[in-house]
Structure formats: C-alpha cells, structure tokens
C-alpha cells in the first residue's frame, strides 16, 4: 500500500492549504469571538470547488473520492475548524441531493449547491431523537402532488443562515423503514427558527431549532424512494464521520505546530522549553497519536470509497479514535503554552473548544462503540482482522 500522495492529491492539498492560510486562518479568531457567519469565505470555497467535492459531476460536483476530500478538509481545518465543519455538512447534504435527487430537484438545487451559491443544512436530530435517530417524529403526509411536513429538528448547523434543508421525516411505519428524505427551501412557508444557541465552541456557525408547520414540499423533491430516507441518512453519516474526524485531525495538526513553535521560542531556567525531557516526551506522544489517527481516518475513507462491507465499522472506529485522540492533542498543546494557552490572545483554547463537540456529533463516541462492538460480536476473529 502506497501512503504517499499522488500528483493530483498534492495539487488539491496545496490549493486547500493556500485558501486556509489566506482566507480562513487570519479571520478565524474574529469569527469565533463575534459569532460571525463567514458567508463570503464559504462562497469563495465554492468557487474553488470545495462545496461539491464528492457531489455528482453532472450537477457541477468534482466527484472526488472520500479519501481525496478528507485530504482537503484536513488542510482547511488547520485554518478554521468551525467553517470547515460547516463545509463538510454542506458537502454531505449536497451529495445527498445530487446522488439521490430526482431530476427536478437536481435541476433546481444541484449546481447552486455545488458552486456555493446555495448553502445547505442537514436536518435529522429531534428533541427526542438524538442517538436513536430512527425514532424521529417529524411527519410528511402525502397531499396531492405534495407532502406536508410537520414537526421540529434541533441542533441544526447553519439553521437560519443556509438556503436549503435536507430533511428526514416519517412517511410510513415506526422505525427506520418509515423514514423518507426531502430537499426544500429554508424560506418555505411554515418554517420558523428558534434562537441561536449559545455554544461552548463552533461560534462562527449558527445552530438553531427548526419548526415545520404544515410545510408543503413537492413530491419530486423527495430523495430516493419513499421509505429510503434512513438508509440515505446512514450512508451520509458514514462519510460525515470521516469528515468530522478529519476536522479534528486538521485542528490537532495546527495545535501541534503552534506548540512546537512556542516551546522552541519560550525560555525558562535559561533554556528553551523544548530542551526539557518532559515536554519532549509530551510532543512525541502527541505526534504519534496524530499520525495514528490520520492513518485510521484514511483507511476508513479507503474502505468507504471501495464499498467494503465493513466500511460503516471502519468509519465508526476512525471517528471514535480520531476525535478522542485529537481532542487530547489539543489539550496537551494548550498545556505546552502554560497560562498563555488559557487566554484568548492565543488560539489554543479555541482549538480545544471547537474540537470538543466532535466527540458528540455525527453519532456520539459511545454510539460508535456500540456500532463497533456489534460488528465484533457478530463475526469471527478472522473477519475482524
């Protein structure tokens, strides 16, 4: 197996790195402190193709692999975790529309989503359906050529700011087989938004509740067939778990680089901090864990790209490992800064705040362990290896 990047991958990484350095990193602290929705930056990302990385090329997407997309997201996250996370959510929703949408929906939304002209939110979680997403209660009832949607969603990233919503709603029986997926305008009659949540991190990304009160959606804006919504949602979450793990990787990489620069410059007791063995060992552990997490994420992306039957398990393992390890790396990087790491003049505390939620969303890490353990217990040891 060749772990080196090929020429095309390197070109994409270089482009993402330049955008991250020039547009994201200089503004990330301001966006966080003032809770600014970085619309212009995300639209610029769209101009570079970063809003439709693995979307269908028929509708303006680049059609890249999940591995290639992960390489790009890692570079972007080094500049701004929050903005990159929103871009990954948009990419997931855009992929759902362009891969599963009927012609009418793709013509209406496809190229506007892949270009970044429209931004999208993914609406699955409900007040009483978090980890148990299959128990969602939002309903979509057929009425002529439309469906009428009623219910509510919570913790929706970009809600109130994005143009398009991909919504999971119940069209049939209880459980996963009764759920369908729809794409609709966020300004449709009957949609209202709750207050902007005051969060620990991800402050540059609006998070709100969405209420649906008799919202009419044309039947041709259903994604896939009726009853296939949960299956589409879970396919989306496999890639979403790679994406959010990658956001943790990029942030931890930047935290590591900042810590290295600091310990090589800061002096105590007449020598730089890097001369102390305690910090040397800390840095060794941080770097080892970062490389291990990165390889796990890239392996999972490779499995997903190749439709491996155990791809879901690998995505769960990668998400669990990378988000836990990378949060720890950010914490240790902050420790290298001492008291300076705790104040907002330096970015270390922001890295810590922004990566903490990655262990919760796209399925909590406890749910990842459920997915992994079920697969282990259902197979013989040879199959796991």
CA distance 321 to 326: 8
Q: How many CA atoms lie within 13 A of 86 on its CB side?
A: 30
State how far the Cα of 255 lies from the Cα of 71, in Å rounded to an integer: 18
From residue 370, how far is each of 35, 232, 323, 365 by CA, in Å? 35, 20, 16, 9
* Planar angle of CA 39, 353, 263, nearest 5 degrees: 110
What does the block give as tokens for 253?
């990489």
Round to whole Å and give the CA distance between 305 and 288. 26
Sign of the Cα pseudo-torsion (341, 344, 346, 351, in order): positive
How many other C-beta atoms are found inside a 10 Å radius of the C-beta of residue 295?
A: 14
How far, CA to CA in Å, does 18 sit from each of 22, 72, 154, 308? 6, 11, 35, 33
- Beta-bridged to residue 111, according to DSSP, are none
What is the H or E stretch that residue 69 is in? Answer: helix 66-79
CB 46 within 8 A of CB 76: no
Structural contact between residues 217 and 168, judged by C-beta atoms closer than 8 angstroms: no
Residues 6+ apart with CB under 8 A from 379: none
What is d(CA 67, CA 84) in angstroms, rounded to the nearest whole number?
16
Catalytic positions, written as ranges: 362
- Residue 278, C-beta contacts closer than 8 angstroms, at least 6 positions apart: none
Q: What are the E-state strand segments in the chain?
A: 120-123, 139-143, 146-157, 164-170, 179-185, 191-193, 207-218, 222-223, 267-268, 271-272
Helix (H), strand (E) counts: the chain: 12, 10
């Amino acid at each position: 197996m060749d772990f080196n990047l090929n020429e095309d991958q390197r070109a994409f990484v270089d482009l993402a790195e330049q955008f991250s350095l020039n547009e994201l990193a200089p503004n990330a602290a301001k966006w966080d402190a003032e809770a600014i929705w970085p619309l212009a930056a995300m639209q610029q990302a769209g101009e570079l193709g970063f809003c439709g990385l693995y979307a269908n090329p028929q509708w303006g997407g680049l059609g890249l692999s999940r591995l290639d997309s992960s390489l790009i997201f890692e570079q972007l996250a080094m500049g701004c975790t929050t903005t990159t996370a929103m871009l990954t959510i948009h990419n997931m929703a855009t992929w759902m529309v362009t891969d599963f949408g009927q012609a009418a929906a793709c013509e209406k939304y496809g190229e506007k989503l892949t270009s970044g002209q429209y931004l999208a939110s993914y609406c699955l979680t409900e007040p009483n359906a978090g980890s148990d997403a299959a128990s969602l209660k939002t309903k979509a009832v057929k009425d002529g050529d439309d469906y009428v949607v009623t219910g509510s969603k919570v913790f929706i990233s970009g809600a109130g700011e994005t143009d398009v919503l991909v919504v999971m709603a119940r069209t049939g029986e209880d459980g996963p087989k009764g759920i369908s997926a729809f794409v609709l305008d966020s300004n449709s009659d009957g949609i209202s938004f709750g207050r902007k949540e005051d969060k620990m991190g991800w402050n540059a990304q609006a998070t709100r509740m969405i209420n649906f009160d008799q919202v009419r959606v044309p039947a041709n804006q259903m994604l896939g067939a009726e009853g296939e919504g949960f299956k589409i949602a879970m396919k989306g979450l496999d890639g979403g778990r790679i994406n959010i793990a990658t956001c943790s990787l990029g942030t931890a990489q930047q935290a590591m680089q900042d810590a290295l620069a600091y310990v090589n410059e800061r002096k105590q007791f007449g020598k730089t901090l890097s001369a102390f063995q305690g910090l040397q060992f800390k840095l060794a552990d941080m770097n080892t864990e970062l490389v291990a997490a990165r390889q796990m994420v890239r392996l999972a992306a490779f499995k997903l790209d190749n439709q491996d039957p155990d791809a879901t398990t690998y995505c769960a393992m990668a998400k669990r490992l990378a988000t836990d390890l990378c949060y720890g790396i950010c914490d240790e990087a902050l420790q290298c800064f001492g008291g300076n790491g705790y104040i907002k003049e330096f970015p270390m505390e922001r890295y810590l705040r922004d990566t903490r939620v990655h262990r919760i969303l796209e399925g909590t890490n406890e749910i990842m362990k459920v997915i992994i353990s079920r697969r282990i217990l259902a197979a013989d040891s040879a199959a796991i290896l």
